[in-house]
Structure 1
């Protein structure tokens, strides 16, 4: 408790209490408050600059940052494992699947193309651990794009596989007439002496001699493109097998199919005849790829053994006279 001070008033001849002036009181209070502020500031600066002293929040944040770094490192390792698996799939895709289905392999530039244009990671560059975050984000984006490209490639392979199955069913693969002993091979593909025009000309197919009425078979799944009488080929059937393949069956006696009809390999489509420009009952058979005649001998793998193929090939290459 502060002491009470008095002074002697000579006018009143008495002692009066000394009262403190208001300005002085204010100055004292202000000085006290200023001292508190300065002391607090000094203590705060001292606290912040002493190593090893952390607030609970700082310790919490540091633990979270350490955990985040650990999780990013684990994520990076997992992505590296995924990249290894993806690279193996990409190699098999290029060197096995796409080769088997005759598709062009994807280049490394197509598979690993980056992201152009603006900086996609600008918003991640202002953090203390920006390098780690940006690096992981870039790797994840590239991995995601490579997975999308590989997924599209596999979808394409699936479609090619379906087309391959359809191709194997459609492509000409058997002889157009029953020819077990191979003796019905009358004339093959190549330059032959024409029996009517009396000069050598290109014979675009193979002639199979057979009695009138002998069954003629579709050599692959197809749709009937034409089935009618023509001037040179006589009764003619043209089958469209798709994939650029067409087969011609000429000089027929009977036409058992009509235009637009779908037929299966081995189905009877007509019978051997002697119509059109022909010197005797036979079947003139052609295979065309993309509109160009090709040797039918290349398409009997479905019903000939290697030995039978050699015999038939030798017979078809003889320089004899064609029947049309």
Structure 2
């Protein structure tokens, strides 16, 4: 009976070890497969972008210059954002160091005061008491107790001196650290000033290019033609992205948006300045909405998904496309800067860009679309 029990225990342990080994192998396989999926997706999107760039070379000089200027603005904006974050961090570190310096200064003053009092007491009474003690040899027990007491007092004084020395060393180190933080802060402030000025120059250049482009498409016919080309290029892009996604059997399937009608978060703050289906030009209606917002405001993903496009597109500027699965996609255009890359997964409410006016827009805002199986639909009823 005992042998049977032992055998069953050993067998269950072996099975458990085997299952663990299999689950670890399966996990490694899934990780490798996910990496391959990402590589394939990036490869397909890069190929798609090359085709787009080839088409863009055929565009007017003004459009090409506008694209370059807006991408430079995006880069400068990201650098400035990073510099601001570093500045905040450095200022926090400096405040922390100054608090430590203040505490150490207070400790130093207290330690000096205590040590001075002890030294003074020992100097005034110690010598006379110690001489009396040596001369009074009649009570050995009293002599022993007094020697122990004086030894303890000397040790206590030595410890106070050592503690004060350490405080002075700590203060010196803090002073050096503060000086270095001040130097770093000044470098960052100068960098911020330079980047701010650069951004202003780029925006001034962009405005001139937008004005030049507006002159090119001044007539209604030219405007309609421009809008039709923009819509056609966006549709071609979406079709190409869908084709690329269909080739990949993703290990992390997405659940789409079907069950989220009336539950989605707005992608940014602001008022709707263009409604879905509103007339852009004769015979051409808007496939999305525009939310008027302040430049630099966060643009957030409306739901969990994967980034399948993040680049500049004629008429839509810096554009992000998120695949939510089951044929659902969300599009975010006119951005000032993009913070995500193709293949990255994002959560609902996660910042993916900042509001801008790229794509030649005259005022800041976010262009937003929802699509299913490549076709646009009214997003208004899907928001909370």
Q: What is the TM-score of this pair, normalised by structure 2?
A: 0.32
Q: Between Structure 1 and Structure 2, whose CA radius of gyration is higher?
A: 1
- Identify, as 1 or 2, the structure richer in helix: 2
Higher relative contact order, structure no. (Cα contacts within 8 Å, ≥ 6 residues apart): 2
- Identify, as 1 or 2, the structure richer in strand: 1
